[in-house]
């Protein structure tokens, strides 16, 4: 139960941070991506701030024992393959076209924004298709 409560609290803090930073406003995100036009650099500052907080904390946490689990589950694959490049390309195109990425889209569902609902539905469909393709390959 402790792990669930901590996960909910962490998710709530993350959602509030996304909203405060403007990541839930698609026009703000597409303005950031419009480097050749009316570029809005403020999200670069948000990203830099997030990295400045995360990087030292991640280093410290890796040396400690987890509070709610037996071990941490850090990503281990380091290969840059076609699957990674394809996924990154699909993510980038989706982000550029919609102004949403997964976290802000989920946060924006709370506002009832139709565009967020459509994005999340498409995201879930993509997850289902990817899992089906993975199962078919095995």
* Every domain of the chain and the residues it spans: 2-137
Note the pLDDT of residue 38.
86
Distance from the Cα of residue 9 to its chain's centroid: 17
DSSP state at residue 36: T
Determine the Cα–Cα distance for residues 96 and 26; give it in Å rounded to an integer. Answer: 9
Residues 6+ apart with CB under 8 A from 88: none
Determine the Cα–Cα distance for residues 110 and 11; give it in Å rounded to an integer. Answer: 13
Structure tokens at 45: 């500052």
Determine the Cα–Cα distance for residues 39 and 35; give it in Å rounded to an integer. Answer: 5
Phi-psi category of residue 27: left, alpha or beta, with phi > 0 → left and psi -120 to 50 → alpha: alpha
Structure tokens at 94: 């989706």
Tens-of-pLDDT digits for all 138 residues of the chain?
787 888 899 889 988 888 888 888 888 888 888 888 888 888 888 889 989 998 998 888 877 777 667 777 777 878 899 988 998 998 888 888 898 988 889 888 888 889 999 999 999 999 999 999 989 988
What is the pTM for the complete model shown? Answer: 0.71
């Amino acid at each position: 139960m402790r792990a669930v409560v901590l996960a909910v609290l962490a998710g709530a803090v993350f959602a509030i941070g996304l909203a405060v930073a403007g990541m839930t406003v698609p026009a703000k995100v597409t303005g950031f991506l419009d480097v050749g036009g009316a570029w809005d650099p403020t999200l670069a500052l948000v990203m830099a701030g997030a990295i400045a907080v995360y990087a030292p904390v991640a280093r410290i946490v890796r040396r400690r024992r987890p509070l709610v689990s037996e071990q941490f589950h850090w990503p281990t694959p380091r290969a840059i393959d076609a699957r990674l490049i394809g996924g990154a390309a699909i993510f980038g195109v989706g982000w550029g076209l919609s102004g949403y990425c997964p976290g802000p889209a989920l946060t924006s569902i709370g506002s009832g924004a139709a565009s967020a609902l459509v994005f999340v539905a498409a995201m879930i469909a993509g997850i289902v298709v990817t899992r089906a393709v993975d199962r078919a390959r095995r």
